[in-house]
Amino acid sequence: MTSSDPVTAVQRSGTRNAHDAAPHPGPSLRSGRPSPRDGVPATQGVAGSLSGERVPSRDSGEAGEGQSVLVVPGASRSSILLGSLGFGVVFLLAWQLVPPALGVPSYIIPTVTDLAREFARMAARENLAVHVFSTVTVAIAGFIIGSLLGAAMGYVLGMSVLIEKVLSPYILGLQIAPKVAFAPLFIMWLGYNSWPKLVVTILVVFFPILVNVLQSMKTVDRDLINLARAYSMSRMQIFWKIEVPASMPALMAGLRIGATLAVIGVTVGELVGGNTGLGYLITFGEGQANTAMVFDAIVLLTAIGIVLYGAVAVMEARVLHYIPRALR
Amino acid sequence: MLKTASVLDLIGVTKRFIAPDGVSPLVAIERVSFEVRSGEFVAVVGPSGCGKSTILNLVAGLDRPNEGRILLNQVPVTGPNPTVGFMLQKDLLLPWRKIVHNVEFGLEARSISRAERRERALRELQRCRLQEFAESYPYQLSGGMRQRAALARTLAIEPAIVLLDEPFSALDAQTKLILQKSFAQTIASSAITTLLITHDLMEAVIMSDRILVMSERPGRIVEEIPVDLPDRDNPMARISAARSREYVDHLLGSLHLQDKAA
């Protein structure tokens, strides 16, 4: 059998038919999911993913195309990395040197060394570790609870067309509503403690994951479902053996978005009320006209977001190992 | 010649759909009758939209006819039936499963042990000459190999009849020939009863014992052509036989393709 030559097999598979059987892992998701990297708010997912699903353009791509778009011509990987690092160094140097040179006082734009000094002071005098711990805990707890609820709700709605149709205008409405604006309400209801922050975080994480999972449930390849039906599988077997695995790429995309939103949720909760967390340190620094403290808190919040996002990315790579890299 | 028992009977089957305008009924197939006997390889050809795939869905029990009866081993089809295996143009392999687990898929609705399931899957992979790819994922296989894996999955449930709905039409010309031969060998060596739906006239001629020609919508069977050629297990031998060309020419005439091109 010439067709069982493993070398040609592998080369051809990654580019052409690899995603025939599952519309999600491949091209449809790339277009269907709101990419966090583009800075598109996750909440635009409803319209975006509805219209963007099943764009066949990548299907027609012949061998090699998938990879070539990702590679900058004439640039090796290490030189790209060097370029990024170099840009960072230049940026920090400019930050350090340009504002003082232009006569901008450090209470408007503190220099990088000011930030480092303030960081050390906060660690020593302001219980920084406690605040960081509080923010991290609420962000992770809110992310996990919001994800679980969002995914569960997405699967329930995906299983029941009727409920989904009845509720869809309200889901859309809630999705568009600025969730962080609920924070003062939650404080009035739940008091000046960790609960309002947690609830806001859960709420902002919930929707993108719900929408992504629901969308993927609605677009599972009908032929796969028919195949399972032809094998006399029950509704629950179809759910666990086809729909849940087929929704994994969409769920992972939702988790990526959720990870970044979780930090926003907890920050807003802390900004609005309470006396712990990095968001609180921002308002505290603002009250004291301590610009460096505000900057430091923002940097730390960003770092927390990056770590959370990275953790999801690692998980995604493990869960979606069956999707060839070029298509992911 | 002793007439063997029929595995599949369609008796006066009509299927109507609601047209996109929501009012007028759309007759997909009308009073279709034919039988497929045990071990026979029957091909159905016809213009696109003639209801070939409707026949497949009806036989697989995924849809019900409006009129007429469908019998599998003399028993009426009332729903999805574990004795029917079907394969589409798409291989429908689950990308998150290894090949061997894909082959086991059809058996998971049955109450057999995990060990037996795996044993049967490995046996089918061997039959389809894919045993060394049991632990691979679908994306690591070529299109042709993936279709063979799909055939292994189809055969694993030991169906009374295998329905093939244009299984080779997504493949390039050379892979197609290789795969047609591979399928023909597997099917002939195990005497598997097969119904092939195709738009490829040559494919119908080189693979089947009998060809049913369908008309445009509403799809009816307008001609039945027994293929009196040797080498049903070797399409590559048939394809170079001069008489195959005659059959194809005859089919071209039956389908009035020359008139349409003019």
**DSSP states of B22-69 as a string?**
SSSEEEEEEEEEEEEETT-EEEEE--TTSSHHHHHHHHTTSS--SEEE
In a domain, A303, yes or no: yes
Return the pLDDT at A62.
Answer: 38
In a domain, A15, yes or no: no
How many Cβ atoms sit within 10 Å of the Cβ of residue A283? 17
In a domain, B144, yes or no: no
Structural domain harbouring B53 = 1-83+200-262
Gyration radius of chain B's alpha carbons: 18
In a domain, A61, yes or no: no
In a domain, A236, yes or no: yes
* CATH number of the CATH domain containing A149: 1.10.3720.10
Does residue B225 carry a pLDDT above 60? yes
User: Among residues A261, A265, A260, which one has the least CA distance to residue A309?
Assistant: A260
Give the position of tokens 């939209």. B49
Q: Say if residues B32 and B13 touch (Cβ distance below 8 Å).
A: yes
pLDDT (mean) for B7-13: 93
Give the position of tokens 């809630």. A174
Structural domains counted in chain B: 1
Does residue B231 carry a pLDDT above 50? yes
In a domain, B13, yes or no: yes
Strand partners, B9: B35, B71
Residues of B with CB under 8 A from a CB of A: 57, 60-62, 80-82, 84, 86, 88, 90-97, 105-106, 108-109, 129-130, 132-133, 137-146, 157, 170, 175, 178-179, 182
Structural domain harbouring A169 = 21-56+112-327
Residue B120 CA to residue B171 CA, distance in Å, equals 28
In a domain, B166, yes or no: no
Residue A148 CA to residue A142 CA, distance in Å, equals 10
* Pairwise pLDDT comparison (B23 vs A90), residue with the higher score: A90
Return the pLDDT at A40.
Answer: 37
Q: Say if residues A253 and B83 touch (Cβ distance below 8 Å).
A: no
In a domain, B163, yes or no: no
Q: Which residues of A64-73 are buried (b: 16+ CB within 10 A; e: fewer)?
A: eebeeeeeee
Three-state DSSP at B87 gives strand
In a domain, B100, yes or no: no
Give the position of tokens 């989904």. A164
**How distant, in Å, are the alpha carbons of A18, A163, A267, A287, B18 from that of A280?**
49, 40, 8, 11, 62
pLDDT tens column, B25-80: 888 898 999 999 999 999 999 887 778 888 988 998 888 999 999 999 999 998 88
User: Which of B96, B158, B171 should one mutate to test binding to chain A, selecting the residue with the greatest count of A CBs within 10 A?
Assistant: B96
| Residue-averaged pLDDT of chain B | 88
In a domain, A121, yes or no: yes
- Confidence band, pLDDT 50/70/90 cuts, at residue B144: confident
In a domain, B217, yes or no: yes
Return the pLDDT at B261.
Answer: 58
Tell me which H or E stretch contains A210. helix A194-218
pLDDT (mean) for B140-164: 91
Q: Which residues of chain A have pLDDT under 50?
A: 1-69, 328
pLDDT tens column, A136-174: 999 999 999 999 999 999 999 999 888 888 998 998 898
Tell me the two tokens of residue A266.
């907890």
> How many contacts, defined by CB atoms under 8 Å, are there between A and B?
110
Tell me which H or E stretch contains A117. helix A112-125
Return the pLDDT at B257.
Answer: 67
Half-sphere exposure of A256 (CA within 13 A, CB side): 22
* CATH number of the CATH domain containing B205: 3.40.50.300
Does residue B138 carry a pLDDT above 90? yes
Contacting residues for A162 by C-beta, under 8 A, at least 6 apart: none
Q: Say if residues B4 and B73 touch (Cβ distance below 8 Å).
A: no
Structural domains counted in chain A: 1
User: Among residues A58, A57, A29, A60, which one has the least CA distance to residue A45?
Assistant: A29
**A54 CB near a chain B CB, below 8 Å?**
no
